[in-house]
Amino acid sequence: MFKMNRNEDAVSPVIGVILMVAITVILAAVIAAFVFGMGPSEMAPQSSLRASATDTATDDISIVMIEHQGGDEIVLSSTNTKFLVGGEEVVYTANVDDTFTAGERLYIAMNATDYQLANSTADGDFEATLEDIGSTGDIVEISIIDVSSQQMIASLDVRY
């Protein structure tokens, strides 16, 4: 009988340690869930976009036309949507509408210092003298990123 009591004493600390480890793991999982967020992540707008090479209305400078073919509307502001041309950020001109919806077109042009986004091909819609974005044989990569979710809306290649 004395041996049996001695063996039961050894089981109790082992069970206690296992329970403490289990409680610690569960607490760590709960804290991690709150820190990293359990809710649904924000989604980028789901839109069908097409990009193509075109010219300005007055000076035949090569620019890029982006056409919204359907899907969610895209909010156009530097705090909501970022346009990149070959990794360089595009500057919004003063005349860009607040939203980009199905059937609308946007134009990206290049001046001496940066790329610009406008609603029409008229040179007056851009804020400086324009230069060609590409010439025959060039491929220009256009990326459109949703800032809040940090997700890609579209990645488009334009061939000249």
- Delimit the domains of the chain by residue range: 11-40, 47-159
> Assign residue 42 a region: left if phi > 0, alpha if psi is -120 to 50, beta otherwise?
beta
Residue 91, judged by CB atoms within 10 A of its CB (0-12, 13-18, 19+), counts as: middle
pLDDT at position 58 over 80: no
pLDDT at position 56 over 60: yes
Provide the pLDDT confidence category of residue 57 given band limits of 50, 70 and 90: confident
Query: Which of 72, 68, 70 is closest to 46 using CA atoms?
Result: 72
Instruction: Give me the mean pLDDT over the 122-135 stretch.
Output: 76
CATH 2.10.260 applies to domain 47-159: no
pLDDT tens, position by position, 96-112: 778 888 999 998 988 88
Instruction: Give me the mean pLDDT over the 116-140 stretch.
Output: 79
pTM, full prediction? 0.69
